[in-house]
């Protein structure tokens, strides 16, 4: 049995990914920060489809909590084959106006959190496994107000590429998925309907991505995509 840890697994893209990997036959550890009820719903969804899952709380920036998350996978299912690090934080503001407290909080989750999860993954993912992080297509689009968020995700991309090379010889793939505008609470919060509609028209496919669209890419990287390694996959409907 292959085993996946999904951080941020109680909502949005993480939730869709946990459910999809469960349908693909993975036993899933649903990592969550605060919403135990939402995480329990994901576990029930996986189990209803015939899979196995367990919810486990962890602040991704705290080493001991993340280590305990991996311990849960080991104790319940025998090990870890795939790590999907979907937990993240976003705060939008022009560079000139951004609170440095918000900057620190954002970078704590997105940079330190990714490093802590990547560190445990490098130590504990079984040979033949996969590590999947999350960036954003805004790194390439350079949209105003996304400066701090995009900077944090640029760090994620750099870490991901280096980890792929550090795991040489273990048959472990390491890739980042960089979604474009996707209909999640994280994306929709604070945006007017007019702005959402305008952003939905950006890709040639003329719609927002859905969490299931991104989960499809993650499932590919977690399963059959053994020759895709050290890449950033921009899943954004064709925005350039």
**Residue 149 is a catalytic residue:** yes
Cα 222 from Cα 25, distance rounded (Å): 12
User: Exactly one of 106, 149, 177, 184 is catalytic; which is it?
Assistant: 149
Between CA 240 and CA 238 the distance in angstroms is 6
Alpha helices in the chain (DSSP H): 12-23, 36-48, 63-77, 100-107, 113-124, 138-141, 147-166, 185-188, 193-200, 211-222
Decide: 141 and 93 in contact? Cβ < 8 Å.
Answer: no
46 with 35: CB under 8 angstroms? no
68 torsion bin: left (phi>0), alpha (psi -120 to 50), beta (else): alpha
For residue 94 the two structure tokens come to 């022009």
> What is the spatial distance between Cα 135 and Cα 41, in angstroms, rounded to a whole number?
26
Tell me the catalytic residues: 149
């Amino acid at each position: 049995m292959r085993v996946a840890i999904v951080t941020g697994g109680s909502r949005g893209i993480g939730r869709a990914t946990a459910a999809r990997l469960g349908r693909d036959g993975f036993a899933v550890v649903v990592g969550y920060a605060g919403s135990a009820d939402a995480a329990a719903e994901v576990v029930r969804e996986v189990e209803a489809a015939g899979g196995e899952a367990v919810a486990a709380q962890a602040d991704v920036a705290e080493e001991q909590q993340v280590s305990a998350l991996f311990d849960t996978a080991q104790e319940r299912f025998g090990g870890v084959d795939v790590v999907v690090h979907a937990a993240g934080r976003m705060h939008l503001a022009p560079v000139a106006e951004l609170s440095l407290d918000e900057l620190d909080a954002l970078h704590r989750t997105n940079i330190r959190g990714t490093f802590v999860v990547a560190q445990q993954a490098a130590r504990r993912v079984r040979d033949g496994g996969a590590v999947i992080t999350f960036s954003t297509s805004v790194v390439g689009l350079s949209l105003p107000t996304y400066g701090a968020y995009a900077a944090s995700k640029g760090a994620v991309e750099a870490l991901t590429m280096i980890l792929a090379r550090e795991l040489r010889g273990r048959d472990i793939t390491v890739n980042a998925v960089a979604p474009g505008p996707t209909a999640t609470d994280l994306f929709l919060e604070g945006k007017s309907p007019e702005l959402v509609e305008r952003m939905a028209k950006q890709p040639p496919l003329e719609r927002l991505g859905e969490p299931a669209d991104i989960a499809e890419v993650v499932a590919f990287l977690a399963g059959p995509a053994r020759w895709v390694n050290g890449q950033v996959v921009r899943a954004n409907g064709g925005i350039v």
